[in-house]
Chain A
Amino acid sequence: MNIIVLVKQVPDTTEIKIDKETNTLIRVGIPNIINPDDLAGVEEALKLKSLYGGTVTTITMGPLQAESMIRELYARGIDDAYLLSDKRFAGSDTWATSKILSTFIKTLEYDLIIAGYQAIDGDTAQVGPQIAEFLNIPQVTHLKQIKKIEGNQIFLDKAYEHETQTLSVELPLLVTTLKAMNTPRYMDAFHIWTAFDKEVKIIKFDDLDIDPRYIGLAGSPTRVKKTYTKQVVPKSPKEVLEPKDAAKKIFKLIYPYMEVKSQ
């Protein structure tokens, strides 16, 4: 089993706040983290490796600072890591990002590709399916669990809004994982010890057989026309109430909407 996991380093968006005076984002001091859905994917890959053997390789696209994240992944037990980093990749939307990543993946051997369902800085959930399309392999997004692998068949559960389906799919396959799927393991002492001796292979534009018209800002079909933070004017005056008065007030307001069930 050769498993590729796609990983992205993202700003921890839960830490981002709006400066109420200037109505702009406060970006200073926001920590960078491994995208949570991707980290669940790494854990899933390591579990599969312990069951079926093989290798776990992570691929990341981003600035060189993402190397710190890759060291952490080595400390968690991955075998190999590539960082696709080039000024010409900058400004890529999901289409161009998927084009670059899939072009590189075509040079590797793999049975299974795991991507996080979505990244918390973009929430698009597009890169996984787009890579599967460019590689012409099947996809199962929003995975619930991988049950087993037998030969070139993988058995898994996929969650929809209305039902869960148990599926069998022919490998190679791309799946997308969710944070809720599993709890990532701790880094262990041995892997931490060796993490800094491992190689992070940097892949540049010149290493890829890709049409420059398909990458970066110029190769991206979408454009951000404008961004804004929501301006709000409070709709109602604030009332400071004693708990008893607050309870009475809320009761009066919700009373007309209550459905009183007969006992």
Chain B
Amino acid sequence: MKTCAIFVEQRNQKLCAIGLELISESRRLLTDQAKVTAIFLTGQVEQSHLDDMSACGADEIIVVSDDKLIDYDTHYYSSVLSSIIEKHQFDVVLLGSTLIGRDLGPRISARVHTGLTADATILEFNSTPEKLELFATRPALGGNIFATIICPETLPQMATIRPGVFSIHMDCQKQATIINEIFDVKTPSKVKILKKHPLISDEKDLTKARLIIAGGRGVVNMFDTLKDIALLTGGEVAASRAVIDAQIEPKDRQVGQTGITVRPSVYLASGISGAIQHVSGMDKSELIIAMNTDPDALIFDIADVSIVADAKLVLPLLKEEILSMKHYE
């Protein structure tokens, strides 16, 4: 049987969602026509991590555990992963398009001489008993076009996949087979971690927000009001690239192709034109409310509720509405 392998990332002994997203989506697309194998490099094996990967649909989990794998290190991780790839001869290898995945993936593809599609957002497979083909589609040229990339001559066919695009389904009953591989890297890394500084943020992770209050070029001077609305509603503020480039909001608030992908219950887009660059990061939101003065704004192509109005005038009134409601409670 052909095999799709997924590199499952851990950071500080916490499993990253993207690994489980990729196992779930590969299982869903491949049904039982191909094997789904998780590859897990860690400092310490925790049963709950293995259970989560099983529940998402992994048939087998290749585990390598060693002190040198506690923290990500390009040399150790690329050495271990490429030797696993050479030994097991997978047809497909998927990684998250995270900072680790984008550091590790290219290094592996150069070493094993195969093609790597970067930051794909759509996955398709063609699975037959003889062949497992991967079609990875990604936005290109600033998100203006989509390109489907194949790797026809070399194996494994590799891709990094954007986090947050696929959902996690933990409904498989079967227990995955655990394969323990030994850590066998003889040469030391030339990189030493001297100190770790955790990111301290009082704000919630944007990818976990239910309600996102987003603004673009049209409301570039209104972010104080947007923040007030977010504070009053328990939502989070996000922005399009124009706002980040103008240094009004920090980079971690940027939704879109070069920012992060979100899928909240509600996405309120004020003064955002809707360039594909931005839309590709939020079009999976459950309810999209768009407000723009330009009736031809592209954002209206994907919005569930399209309001032609001047957000600069509406937002202060919206804040008042919310405040008056709060007053009665």
> Which A residues lie at the B interface, using CB under 8 A?
11, 13-14, 16-18, 25, 93-95, 98, 120-130, 132-134, 138-142, 155, 159-170, 173, 180, 220-230, 232-244, 246-251, 253-255, 257-261
Contact = CB atoms under 8 A, between A and B. Distances in A.
A250 B318 contact: yes
Interface of B: 11-12, 71-72, 74-75, 78, 98-100, 102-103, 105-107, 109-111, 113-119, 135, 139-142, 144-154, 189-199, 210-211, 232-235, 241, 251, 257-258, 265-266, 268, 276, 287, 289, 291, 295, 300-310, 313-315, 317-318, 320-322, 325-326, 329
A127 B116 CA distance: 11
Nearest to B189: A138
Given A138-B189, A162-B11, A250-B318, A126 B106 contact: yes
Contacts of A127: 106
A241 B196 contact: no
B117 to A, nearest CB: 6
Contacts of A132: 107
B12 A162 contact: yes
A257 B147 contact: no
A217 to B, nearest CB: 12
B191 A123 contact: no
B257 A258 contact: no
B303 A236 contact: yes
A25 B145 contact: yes
Given A94-B106, A257-B210, A232 B191 contact: no
24 contacts: A18-B276, A25-B144, A94-B118, A95-B113, A123-B258, A124-B118, A127-B106, A133-B111, A163-B199, A166-B195, A221-B115, A222-B149, A224-B147, A227-B148, A230-B276, A238-B300, A238-B307, A238-B308, A239-B307, A247-B321, A249-B307, A250-B289, A250-B318, A254-B211
A159 B197 CA distance: 9
User: Would you call the interface of chain B mostly helix, strand, loop, or mixed?
Assistant: mixed
A215 B117 CA distance: 18
Contacts of A122: 118, 140
A225 B306 contact: no
B225 to A, nearest CB: 12
B144 A13 contact: yes
Given A167-B191, A234-B301, 14 more contacts: A11-B141, A13-B142, A94-B118, A130-B109, A134-B110, A142-B102, A160-B72, A167-B192, A230-B276, A243-B314, A247-B314, A253-B289, A254-B211, A258-B322
Contact of B191 (A14, A95, A138, A159): A138
Given A169-B192, A223-B152, A124 B306 contact: no
Contacts of A167: 191-194
Given A25-B141, A139-B107, A235 B302 contact: yes
B301 A164 contact: no
A228 B145 contact: yes
Contacts of B105: 126, 129
A164 B197 contact: yes
Contact of A238 (B111, B194, B295): B295
Q: Which of B100, B102, B119, B154 has most chain A Cβ within 10 Å?
A: B102
A133 B112 CA distance: 11
A222 B115 contact: yes
A209 B145 CA distance: 36
Nearest to A228: B146
B115 A95 contact: yes
Given A170-B190, A246-B307, A250-B314, A93 B115 contact: yes
Nearest to A125: B102
A253 B106 contact: no
B306 A234 contact: yes
Q: Which of A129, A139, A226 has most chain B Cβ within 10 Å?
A: A129
Contact of B151 (A126, A221, A240): A221
A147 to B, nearest CB: 10
Contacts of B141: 11, 13, 16, 25, 121
A105 to B, nearest CB: 14
Given A95-B113, A129-B110, A241-B307, A248 B234 contact: no
Contact of B198 (A133, A162, A221): A162
A124 B160 CA distance: 10
B113 to A, nearest CB: 7
Contacts of A173: 190
Contact of B142 (A14, A130, A260): A14
Contacts of A223: 149-152
